[in-house]
Amino acid sequence: MSKLTTTFWVASSVAKQDHPEQIELLQAKIRKTVVPVSIELGSINITIQEFLTLGFGDVLQLDTKVSDELKLFVGKRPKFFCRPGTSGKKAAVQITRVMTEGDEGDDE
């Protein structure tokens, strides 16, 4: 699994460039880069007919249990497992473990 750290990216570019100023500039840019993070609660397959009749108040039963770990995505790539909860008055997740290559198909 590729590392999502400034150190990894900079270290891999040092062999190509030995300019400390450029390395510092690259580190600063990486630290300021914004990446989308999303949590997948679950999924469901429904027919087009069911989709067309969806309305306010309808409940969709997902394929996950309340006790299951959720997948945390960085961009479009799953990177971590987490559990839902709250932090103050906001919804939150707590990362429970790093996703490995074999985990991508897990349906815990």
Instruction: Verify that 23 and 54 share a domain, yes or no.
Output: no
Enclosing H/E stretch for 38 = strand 37-40
Question: How large is the angle between the packed helices 20-32 and 6-14, nearest 10 degrees?
Answer: 150
Q: CB–CB of 32/15 below 8 Å?
A: no
Q: pLDDT band at 13, cuts 50/70/90? A: low
Q: CB–CB of 81/95 below 8 Å?
A: yes
More confident: 18 or 106: 18
Strand 90-98 to 70-74 pairing: unpaired
Q: Region 53-75: what's the mean pLDDT? A: 95
Query: Token digits for 94?
Result: 């707590």
Domain of residue 52, CATH code = 2.30.330.10
Residue type, 23: I
Instruction: Verify that 77 and 100 share a domain, yes or no.
Output: yes
Instruction: Verify that 18 and 61 share a domain, yes or no.
Output: no
Question: What range defines the domain where residue 67 resides?
Answer: 36-108
pTM of this structure: 0.67
How far apart CA 21 and CA 42 sit, in angstroms, is 45
Q: Region 20-30: what's the mean pLDDT? A: 88
